[in-house]
A and B are shown apart, each in its own frame.
Chain A
């Protein structure tokens, strides 16, 4: 539904997006991941025709956004930076957008109810908290009841209730057959929300695959073993050329499936108390993949 082809964006000498190509399928939630400054927001702005690509194209449903007949009825977007005049009320903000695309005013109340903002609808948005601003942005995206939705970090500033709400909401949109493209910093959140992932680092594509695939390809398989015979098992596994580490709970065997460890134990008559494959978190897999691409490394001062 969304097709990005050889998209490049330069700001002066800075290459924000670098020859990026991917597509986003309908009927699923596609997560867009990348470290800070990797070009997610820039890519989304280019898909919406707000920023002009240096080269390459971005289309939605086969055509550039600027050719949409009723843009808000075809594509809904929540952008990263607040795009609301602080002096206008939430209700009037939505109404001006509705009018521009001949969306009935009744729909304004519907989307305000949807995001839980009816009570504050008549207040000017300058006084809104970050979370309320996000909710209003989501309401604006849903205004035209569009098939395609882009959300740039929708849970940014939301409370835990809000985060759960957004997750459920995005899933329900995809379940209705819509195309949902969502960027996030919260990898764990994406694991729960997304079906597919597009990972970028320094503006380049790092991976495009399903969440499960992503995790299994990008993190090392590990198996946890608890046994009263730790020393013997350790020796056996090492003898097989496997890497073993011990921690307070027992042993961790790297790059192996649990079946193999079980078979080796059985062959050597070693009693097992626990044998469990460890599932790598998306967070770990993500960090693994973009390790070399993080632009802004956190620095921990050495206290000594």
Chain B
């Protein structure tokens, strides 16, 4: 490191402060630059993509292998769901990313530099939401498409085998596959993309509220998994009313090409809307407190 012993005094600057003031767009540009200049965000996106593609491919391979051995699995089989089987595990990487976008700033103190540059905290948080939503929407779309095509290709490698069972003739021998043009596929892919994107925003909201990485990730994993188990243990009357509001349950109705017909679950797009509402509520509450708390 070289040290300038005695710097020339900075040139008396002709300070011309531009008219107007910083805007949401400036905040978005700054957040985007922040996002892509730390490794953790790129890591999370990479891990998410690998999990999405890897788990889905694995699931499809196992499906091909096991096809027909368990007739009850064959019945109601959705090729789209199979080729997106990585969504559940991939959600974890997304949750970590959403939390970290905020919590990393609070835990390193860099949030103070952020708020010094943009004192309107709601502008900062809104910019974070928009940047993360855009990045995730695109990344998830890419990951989904890779997983989808790879999954369908794997499913189609199944070969005829001797099968016992009374399921439809088309299902005998090898698993069915779908193409992008098949009924419900594009809608399912889009809904899944929306689900993953809103999930990221939900966790970003948790990050704003909780501020500590570990705490917010625990809250996220706690909502996504254990709550699911707890609700499952409730008496049926409560369970039927509550279960459908859980993110994991919503996922079951979203990552599909054939609508799930069940009295106790939401429809695909109602599920997406519910996720969006969660995101709005959590981010809104986060901003409400972020503005009032000390940075």
Residues of A whose CB lies within 8 Å of any CB of B are 45, 48-52, 65-74, 77, 79, 81-89, 92-93, 95-97, 99-102, 113-120, 132, 140, 142, 145, 147, 161-162, 164-165, 168-169, 172-173, 175-176
Contacts and interface: CB of A to CB of B under 8 A. Distances in A.
Interface string B2-20: 1111110110110101101
A263 to B, nearest CB: 46
Ranked 9 nearest A-B pairs via Cβ: A69-B21, A172-B9, A100-B30, A66-B119, A100-B117, A92-B37, A83-B112, A51-B294, A50-B295
Given A69-B21, A71-B116, A89 B9 contact: no
A100 B56 CA distance: 40
Nearest to A64: B119
A45 B5 CA distance: 30
Contacts of A165: 3-7
Given A99-B30, A101-B26, A161-B3, A114 B10 contact: yes
Given A70-B21, A96-B34, A117 B1 contact: yes
Given A50-B294, A69-B17, 12 more contacts: A52-B292, A52-B293, A70-B21, A71-B117, A82-B109, A83-B110, A84-B109, A85-B104, A100-B27, A116-B2, A132-B1, A140-B113
A48 B118 CA distance: 11
B115 interface: yes
B9 A71 contact: no
A68 B119 contact: yes
B162 interface: no
A285 B69 CA distance: 89
A72 to B, nearest CB: 5
A92 B33 contact: yes
B107 to A, nearest CB: 9
B113 A83 contact: yes
Given A71-B118, A83-B113, A116 B3 contact: yes
A71 B112 contact: no
Contacts of A120: 1
Nearest to B21: A69
B24 to A, nearest CB: 11
B183 interface: no
B3 A162 contact: yes
B20 A114 contact: no
Contact of B120 (A66, A96, A116, A119): A66
B112 A87 contact: no
B12 A87 contact: no
Contacts of B20: 69
Nearest to A132: B1
A96 B10 contact: no
Contacts of A119: 1-2
Interface string B83-119: 0000000000000000000001100111111111111
A197 B106 CA distance: 33
Nearest to A143: B117
B18 A71 contact: no
B10 A142 contact: yes
A87 B35 CA distance: 11
A96 B295 contact: no
Given A70-B18, A95-B33, A169 B7 contact: yes
A51 B292 CA distance: 9
A293 B108 CA distance: 32
Interface in B268-295: 292-295
B38 A114 contact: no
B4 A48 contact: no
Contacts of A100: 22, 26-27, 29-30, 114, 117-118
22 contacts: A51-B294, A71-B22, A71-B117, A71-B118, A77-B116, A81-B109, A81-B112, A82-B109, A83-B111, A83-B116, A86-B108, A87-B39, A96-B34, A97-B117, A99-B26, A100-B30, A115-B4, A116-B4, A120-B1, A168-B7, A169-B7, A169-B9
**Which of B4, B17, B113 counts the most A-chain CB atoms under 10 A from its CB?**
B113
